[in-house]
């Protein structure tokens, strides 16, 4: 199953995976959607056969709560980096900030930070950046469905962002500051949602040690596809990779038989085939 982990600050996503491996005493553990060490919040962790289904979480929209600090620019795009520019300024009014935020919704173009895991000619960008190697980051199109300014303090704002995969809130912070001709950097970041995983139900590593398997969520509750009920007479054929002819539009579906979740199937041109299967004992 999946664990809705509330990652602590200072922990890498790989650190979290290693801790879960120790708790469950298995190497078969993975995560979806890397969080920077300084960031906190929702990190979906897959244990056992659930690792087969991690790829389906990659496309999920995410929600972040961010604090954006004005008047400071760093080389990493957040407060863990070296300050490369600072300015005295007067904080814009909350109404101005909220009006400007509307210009950052929809499909927007952004440049990811150089201190990121994006690969440049086969090498991770942050490795090149740490060695002071000059390179250009490719710009990308991302979708921001909500950028809401919740409050404004003397030199920073608190905002929530609903966004597509591949969005860098560090880049959004810098671009938002630039809209006011000000340097800006990410002060703090908490991921509060990944698809069906919400911060309200997330567990800490300490809580996980006590809960153990009680913290595992069933795979089918964590992936957001339409359900399809397979006729029992087609069970063996389906599990052996054979197609089942059906009248249904092309789709990716969660496949069930007699109430048991089998895995994920793909419907193409009227044929259903297994794409990812859970392995059961004595399945007939």
Nearest Cα residue to 160 out of 34, 151, 70: 151
Nearest Cα residue to 93 out of 157, 147, 189, 174: 157
Find the catalytic residue in 15, 36, 75, 206.
Answer: 36
Query: Is the sign of the CA dihedral 144, 145, 149, 150 positive or negative?
Result: negative
CA-based R_g, the chain, Å:
22
Plot region of 72 (φ>0 → left; ψ -120 to 50 → alpha; else → beta)? beta
Based on the residue annotation, tell me whether 36 is a catalytic residue of this protein.
yes
**E strands, 183-225, where?**
184-194, 197-198
Upper half-sphere CA count for residue 85 (Cβ side, 13 Å): 16
Query: Is the sign of the CA dihedral 200, 206, 209, 210 positive or negative?
Result: negative
| DSSP string over 158-175 | EEEEEE-TT--HHHHHHH
Question: Can you tell me the distance from the alpha carbon of 135 to that of 138, in angstroms, rounded to the nearest whole number?
Answer: 10
3-state helix, strand, coil in the chain (%, to 5): 25, 40, 35
Q: Tokens at residue 108, please?
A: 């927007």
Catalytic residues: 36
């Amino acid at each position: 199953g999946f664990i809705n982990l509330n990652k602590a600050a200072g922990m890498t996503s790989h650190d979290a995976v290693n801790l879960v491996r120790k708790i469950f005493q298995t190497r078969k553990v993975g995560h979806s959607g890397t969080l920077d060490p300084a960031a906190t919040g929702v990190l979906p962790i897959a244990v056992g056969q659930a690792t087969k289904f991690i790829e389906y979480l990659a496309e999920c929209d995410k929600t972040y709560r961010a604090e954006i600090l004005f008047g400071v620019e760093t080389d990493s795009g957040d407060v863990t980096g070296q300050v490369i520019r600072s300015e005295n300024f007067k904080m814009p009014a909350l109404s101005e900030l909220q009006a400007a935020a509307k210009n950052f919704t929809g499909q927007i173009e952004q440049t990811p930070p150089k201190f990121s895991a994006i690969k440049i000619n086969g090498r991770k960008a942050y490795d090149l950046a740490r060695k002071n190697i000059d390179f250009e980051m490719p710009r990308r199109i991302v979708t921001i469905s909500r950028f809401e300014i919740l409050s404004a303090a003397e030199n920073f704002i608190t905002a929530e962002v609903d966004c597509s995969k591949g969005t860098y809130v560090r880049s959004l912070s810098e671009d938002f500051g630039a809209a006011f001709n000000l340097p800006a950097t990410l002060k703090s970041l908490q991921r509060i949602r990944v698809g069906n995983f919400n911060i309200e139900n997330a567990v800490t590593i300490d809580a996980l040690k006590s809960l153990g398997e009680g913290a595992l969520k069933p795979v089918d509750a964590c992936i957001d596809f339409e359900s399809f009920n397979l006729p029992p007479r087609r069970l063996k054929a389906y599990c052996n990779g054979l197609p089942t002819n059906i009248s249904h539009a092309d789709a990716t579906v969660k496949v069930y038989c007699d109430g048991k979740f089998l895995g994920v199937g793909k419907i193409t041109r009227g044929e259903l085939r297994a794409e990812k299967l859970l392995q059961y004992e004595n399945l007939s």
